[in-house]
Amino acid sequence: MTEVSKQEVASFYDKVGWQSEGDGLFQNAEYEDLRKVSQSYIARAHARVGKHLPKKGKYLLDAGSGPVQYEAYLKYSEGFEKRVCLDLSFVAMQEARKKLGEKGFYVVSDVANLPFAPESFDGIVSLHTIHHLPIEEKADAYLYMYKGLKPGGSMVTVDGWGEHKLAKFWEKVIALARRLRRAPKNLKPVTQAQNQAEEIQKVNGPAGTHVVKTSAAWFKSVIGDKIPYQIRSWRSVSVRFLREVVPDNAFGRLLLLKLSWLEDLFPRYFGENGQYPLIVFSKPKRDGAKE
């Protein structure tokens, strides 16, 4: 991504993505399924992040924090002295300060060029951010963030795979759900436009942003054995899948409960082959370090 396109991403989130729409939500929340039926499924995904972060420490880096969009995100830093929020968007930092106040530090900067000394953080979290980087910067972003961890610390990243083995199967399920709903073949123009927009977002991300999603195979090829990691499942299905397939009723809740159970039972499979991987990086303690 050129410096100009990074400015465009920042401008999109300043002017659109992180504009408040009331009730504690931002425009960017339109790219999430906020229906009641999906709340427990999404909450379990948020909890998976916290499970792999340190429970306490001095500094937690939130790389690409945005405005700390959801209340669930606040739990990650409850046991830390300070949450260091970093984002390209100045508006995001203003909104994050409203939530965290003196609990946070707020830095307008690029996750690909972190302005911190090595081994500064007990924990690092980066949610839906690295996919905004150009392909040539992604691998170094993982390595530089890992360098910022203290020995014994851990880092969790969540992003989306652009290619994954379950994609074709999920598409067949979506097509089946549409047939069962007897969706009309000839949609109204506004619906057609909305559907086209969803298809574009599925590939490119929200309009106005720069998104390059990769795959588990790509990640393994560029990271190799340079740093220790585990690929696990954050969520195996997309927002589009949730909206198209899962009905807002008891059957939908049961369906998502079973899916979440499978993701917990086979985290590596669904992490590598599903939609959203949760990648855990743990830095070993130095020899002789106290527990």
Sign of CA dihedral 158, 277, 236, 13: positive
The predicted structure's pLDDT at residue 191: 37
Model pTM score: 0.84
pLDDT in tens, the chain (291 residues): 444 466 666 665 655 555 565 555 545 556 688 899 999 999 999 999 999 999 999 999 999 998 998 899 999 999 999 999 999 888 889 999 999 999 999 999 999 999 999 999 999 999 999 988 889 999 999 999 999 999 999 999 999 999 899 999 999 999 999 888 775 544 443 333 334 334 334 444 444 456 778 999 999 999 999 999 999 999 999 999 999 999 999 999 999 999 999 999 999 999 999 999 999 999 999 876 555
Domains (ranges, CATH) in the chain? 3-282 (3.40.50.150)
Residue 204's H or E segment, with its range, is: helix 189-204
Q: Which tokens in the block code for residue 139?
A: 């691998």
* CA neighbor of 61 nearest in space, from 144, 140, 131, 148: 148
Measured from the Cβ of residue 2, the count of other Cβ atoms closer than 10 Å reads 9
- CA geometry: angle at 241 spanning 247 and 5, to 5°? 140
- What is the residue type of 180? L
Q: Say how far apart CA 221 and CA 103 lie, in whole Å.
A: 38
The predicted structure's pLDDT at residue 16: 52
The predicted structure's pLDDT at residue 233: 98
The predicted structure's pLDDT at residue 4: 42
